[in-house]
Structure 1
Amino acid sequence: MWKSIASNFLTLFILLLVAAGALVGWGQAQYTKTGPLEDAICVRVPLGGSMALVSRDLEAKGAVSNGRIFRIGADYADKSQQLKAGSFLVPAGASMEQIVDIVTRGGQNTCGTEVVYRIGVTSRSAVVRELDPTTNEYIETAKFTPGVDEAPQVYVEARDDRDVRYRVAVAEGATSWQIVDSLRALDVFEGEIDETPPEGSLAPDSYEVQPGADRAALIAKMTAAQEKILAEAWEARDPNVPLESPEEALILASIIEKETGVPEERRQVASVFTNRLRQGIKLQTDPTVIYGVTRGEGVLGRGLRQSELRRETPYNTYVIPGLPPTPIANPGKLSIEAALNPDDTPYIFFVADGTGGHAFAVTIEDHNRNVAEWRKIEAERAAQN
């Protein structure tokens, strides 16, 4: 009898093991297979939230088929205690395994509300925008000029939301004064900036920041980034460029930055100035003259006067030979690389061509024809206004 009982018990035990194995296998398949989500969604993980709370939210939104399997899978992967607060984009068809990775990976939030402080060449603005998870595109909900306009209610409410992301986007060609003046007007920052950094020393880029961040710390970060960019570009420079130091490269790069906003022609513009430096021809570029007038503090807002073009100043490249004494703006990485590795061309002239780019020329005759064409375009545009 005991043998029969033992045999039956062993059989039952084996069946239970097989069933358990099958259940585990089924659970693993459910955990790793494509999920039921038809459209991307934004999932918010509150500060102090739990995997149980997140699983219920995901289940309610149709992102996971079984919240219990989601939690067990997270436990098995030792990720239940790694949950990160924030707002995260969950793509359509994401498996439970992928979603667990998304909400425990950390780093920058990938959806929800974002405030972008844009520091441009002619203006600054603060933009509040929301990511539409179905299109993966941002929808602007408010825009204003910090330090000038009253902050809209949408922005005020965003400042009280811990999940909101903040970025400072600095445009290529902005001056150091413009950057410092803008940072002082942004209420997301604290601390003082004692003095304006040297022109050209700040790297234009998009920087993620946190409320209460120190203004001087961001300036230091931008400075370190520009130093790294310049050092790497100088190391990889064309040995034949007529530039004696990284500082001269930064000066030329700033001129290139102000002369063109078309990425694919930066090296052509660089070739014109390089050829002029080699041949001892004055650079004759308006942006340097303008900088001599404004010192980078705001926008000139008018055309240059003939008296300003004739007056000898350290920045009037119609009068002085070679480069001005300092950069005239903060150039981006592409302009720095263009200054140190220009195209090999015979060009020594260029003028706007009406498309946003420039017409290049080797001889003064060709250049004069290009200038005449540009004047014609200017006159036609003026007549239409």
Structure 2
Amino acid sequence: MWRHIASNALTFLVVLIFLLGGVILWGQNEYVTQGPLDEQICLRVKPGSTMRGVSRELESLGAITNGSIFRVGSEYSNKKSQLKAGSWLIPEGSSMSQITDLITRGGASTCGTEVVYRIGVTKSEVQVRELDPATDRYVEKAAFDPAEDDQPEAFKTVRKQQDTRYRVAVAEGVTSWQIVDALARVDVLEGDVAKVPPEGSLAPDSYEVSVGQDRTSVIEKMRQSQDLILAAAWENRADGLPLENPYEALILASIIEKETGVPEERGQVASVFTNRLNRGMRLQTDPTVIYGVTKGQGVLGRGLRQSELRAETPWNTYVIDALPPTPIANPGRASIEAAVNPDDTNFVFFVADGTGGHAFAETLEEHNKNVAKWREIEAKRASE
């Protein structure tokens, strides 16, 4: 009798072990197999969250099929205690294993809300925006001018959230003074910039910043980036340029940047100035005259006077015979590359054409015709 009982018990134990092994294998497979998400989502993990709470949130969002397996898998992989607060973009079809890795890896949030401090040529703006996971595009929630407007509630709310990301976006063509002035109003940064950096030395781009970061460190990142861009462009420059060194290329790039906002025109504008320099002609470009008036400290806000066009300043290219002594703004990568690799043309003139672009010409006769057309457009607009 006892032998029979022992035999049955042994059989039951063997079956139980096989069943348990099957459950474990099934659980392991569920943990690493493709998940049920049919579109990506943004998962916000608040400070102090637990893996149990996150698993419930993931279940409610339809990102995982079994919260228990998710928790056991995170514990088995020694990641249960490594949960990181933030907003994490969970791609469609992510497995439990992949999700665990995403929410325990750390680093900057990959979705959610961000505040962008935009430094523009004519104005600066603070924008609150949020990533829409369905379209993978940011949606604006609020925007205001920090120099003139009160802070909207949407901005005050996200500033209190620990997972909000911050970014400083610098437009092409802004001056170093404008950058320093605008950074002083970026409320997440600290410290003062003791001296305005040399004109042209800061790379226009988008820079992620953190709360409490020193303003000088942001400036230094911009400077290092511009150094690398300029060095690479100069290394790959075309032959026969009327430029002696990278700094002259930077000066020319800043003029190109201020002369056109049409990306496709940069190479043509660069060719005009290159041809003029090669022929010993004056550049005769208004943005350099404006810089001689403002020194880069703000926007002129009006047309140039005849007296200013005739004034002898180091930057007035209607008076001086070559490049001005310094850049007149901070040019972007595309303008720097255009300066050292201009289009191959015979153009030596250009004027606005009424569409936002320019009409280019090889001869003075052709240029005068383009100027006459532009004046007709100006007169018509003035009468409307």
RMSD: 2.1
- Aligned-residue offset at 1:156: 2.0
Which whole-Å CA distance do the structure 1 matches of 2:210 and 2:273 have between them? 41
Q: Measured at CA, do residues 7 and 308 of structure 1 come closer, stay the same or move farther in structure 2, by a change above 3 Å?
A: same
Q: Which residue of 1 aligns with 2:92?
A: 92
Which whole-Å CA distance do the structure 1 matches of 2:244 and 2:10 have between them? 86
Q: Which residue of 1 aligns with 2:72?
A: 72
Q: Which residue of 2 aligns with 1:50?
A: 50
Letter in 2 for 1:257: E
- Aligned-residue offset at 1:209: 0.9
**3-state SS of paired residue (2:71):** helix
Q: Measured at CA, do residues 203 and 9 of structure 1 come closer, stay the same or move farther in structure 2, by a change above 3 Å?
A: same
Q: Which residue of 2 aligns with 1:26?
A: 26
Determine if contact 1:147/1:186 at 8 Å carries over to the other structure: no
- Aligned-residue offset at 1:185: 1.8
Note the residue ranges of structure 2 that are not aligned, 5 or more in a row.
Answer: none
Q: Which residue of 1 aligns with 2:116?
A: 116
- Aligned-residue offset at 1:103: 1.4
Which whole-Å CA distance do the structure 1 matches of 2:292 and 2:338 have between them? 24
Which whole-Å CA distance do the structure 1 matches of 2:302 and 2:133 have between them? 44
Equivalent positions of 1:224-263 (< 5 A) are 224-263=224-263
Q: Measured at CA, do residues 95 and 310 of structure 1 come closer, stay the same or move farther in structure 2, by a change above 3 Å?
A: same
- Does 2:167 match 1:179? no
Which whole-Å CA distance do the structure 2 matches of 1:64 and 1:114 have between them? 27
Letter in 2 for 1:230: L
- Aligned-residue offset at 1:371: 2.0
**3-state SS of paired residue (2:92):** coil
**3-state SS of paired residue (2:138):** strand
Give per-residue Cα distances to partners, 1:105-151, cap 9 Å, x unaligned.
33331222211100000000111122233333323222211132222
Give per-residue Cα distances to partners, 1:237-296, cap 9 Å, x unaligned.
223222111111110110111111222221221111111111111111111011001111
Equivalent positions of 1:306-325 (< 5 A) are 306-325=306-325
Aligned residues between the structures: 384
Q: Which stretch shifts more, 175-184 or 81-90?
A: 81-90
Q: Which stretch shifts more, 259-268 or 72-81?
A: 72-81
Q: Which residue of 2 aligns with 1:282?
A: 282
Identity %: 65
Letter in 2 for 1:347: F
Q: Measured at CA, do residues 366 and 152 of structure 1 come closer, stay the same or move farther in structure 2, by a change above 3 Å?
A: same
Which whole-Å CA distance do the structure 2 matches of 1:7 and 1:120 have between them? 84
Q: Which residue of 2 aligns with 1:271?
A: 271
Q: Measured at CA, do residues 3 and 181 of structure 1 come closer, stay the same or move farther in structure 2, by a change above 3 Å?
A: same
Equivalent positions of 1:1-385 (< 5 A) are 12=12, 14-384=14-384
Give per-residue Cα distances to partners, 1:156-192, cap 9 Å, x unaligned.
2222211111111000100001111111122222111
Q: Measured at CA, do residues 4 and 189 of structure 1 come closer, stay the same or move farther in structure 2, by a change above 3 Å?
A: same
Determine if contact 1:34/1:95 at 8 Å carries over to the other structure: yes
Which whole-Å CA distance do the structure 2 matches of 1:256 and 1:77 have between them? 56
Which whole-Å CA distance do the structure 1 matches of 2:360 and 2:14 have between them? 84
Letter in 2 for 1:266: R
TM-score by length of 2: 0.93
Q: Which stretch shifts more, 63-72 or 283-292?
A: 63-72
- Aligned-residue offset at 1:97: 2.5
Q: Measured at CA, do residues 18 and 185 of structure 1 come closer, stay the same or move farther in structure 2, by a change above 3 Å?
A: same
Which whole-Å CA distance do the structure 2 matches of 1:11 and 1:378 have between them? 98
Q: Measured at CA, do residues 67 and 304 of structure 1 come closer, stay the same or move farther in structure 2, by a change above 3 Å?
A: same
TM-score by length of 1: 0.93
Letter in 2 for 1:236: N
Give per-residue Cα distances to partners, 1:275-331, cap 9 Å, x unaligned.
111111111111101100111111111111111112221111111111000000001
Q: Measured at CA, do residues 29 and 339 of structure 1 come closer, stay the same or move farther in structure 2, by a change above 3 Å?
A: same
Letter in 2 for 1:103: I
Which whole-Å CA distance do the structure 1 matches of 2:64 and 2:164 have between them? 25
Q: Which stretch shifts more, 208-217 or 367-376?
A: 367-376
- Aligned-residue offset at 1:4: 7.2
Q: Measured at CA, do residues 306 and 17 of structure 1 come closer, stay the same or move farther in structure 2, by a change above 3 Å?
A: same
- Aligned-residue offset at 1:48: 3.5
Letter in 2 for 1:75: E
Which whole-Å CA distance do the structure 2 matches of 1:382 and 1:84 have between them? 59
Give per-residue Cα distances to partners, 1:331-369, cap 9 Å, x unaligned.
111111111111222211122222222222211222222
